[in-house]
Amino acid sequence: MADAVETLLGLLRDRYSCRAFRPDPVPGDVISRIVEAAGRAPSWCNAQPWHVTVTQAAQTEAFRHALSDTAKAQVPAPDLPWPDSYPGAYGERRRTCGYQLYDAVGIARDDRTEQSMRNFALFDAPHVAIVQSEAALGPYGAMDTGGFVTAFMLAARAHGVDTIAQASVAAYAPMIRAHFELPETRLILCAISFGYGDPDHPANRFRTERAGLDEILDLRG
């Protein structure tokens, strides 16, 4: 059991949002094993409302270009509403992780457009997973699919694969639905770009902090 705890904590600690990938592809059988493992995530009524469309090779390149062009030309139209605001500590955490990234890559704080456009180039990842949930299952379907996303990222880490979840990509849900000919009944929740991270790239050289247990846990009795 101690080994299981160590293994799990190791995966949770080692995972980070990778923002620069090497071009080497992830073998197809490894992709299948990651998705199969993520599918072990729990869901209300075991409905398993998640679906992923995963690209390889030329399909990734075609999507990368189409998405970048769309992001330059169109206004965001996400399926899920973006947060209204980030009050108090939430806003501070948001600013801190933004500053960490901009400091790491040496970008002035008032010139962020170029770095944020890297989202739409999928940070040069060789693969992207478009994460969808069945719209009829509503917010709980999306919540279940969030669990799937975390399981995907931890399973990927267990296979030595780096990931980044990207809500920014889901801002162009109508274009994504059309590009991959996805059913109208699916919500586009986020993307997960993945592959093998470039450890020497400045964007991968910082790690985010977490709030202390006292800010999370309200233990009674």
Ligand X SMILES: Cc1cc2nc3c(=O)[nH]c(=O)nc-3n(C[C@H](O)[C@H](O)[C@H](O)COP(=O)(O)O)c2cc1C
Q: Give residues in contact with ligand X (CB under 6 A).
A: 16-17, 97, 119, 164-168, 190, 208
Say which residue the tokens 């944020």 belong to: 116
Residue nearest to ligand X (CB): 168
C-beta of residue 142 within 8 angstroms of C-beta of residue 43? no
Say which residue the tokens 């189409």 belong to: 66
Question: Residue 132 or residue 168: which is nearer to ligand X going by CB?
Answer: 168
Tokens of 173: 């849900």
Question: Residue 28 or residue 42: which is nearer to ligand X going by CB?
Answer: 42
| Cβ neighbours for 153, distance < 8 A, ≥ 6 positions apart | 15, 163, 165, 192
- Rounded to a whole number of angstroms, the minimum distance from the CB of residue 107 to ligand X is 13
- Rounded to a whole number of angstroms, the minimum distance from the CB of residue 217 to ligand X is 19
- Rounded to a whole number of angstroms, the minimum distance from the CB of residue 163 to ligand X is 9
CA-based angle 192:133:125, to the nearest 5? 10
Question: Residue 39 or residue 98: which is nearer to ligand X going by CB?
Answer: 98
Question: Residue 199 or residue 220: which is nearer to ligand X going by CB?
Answer: 199
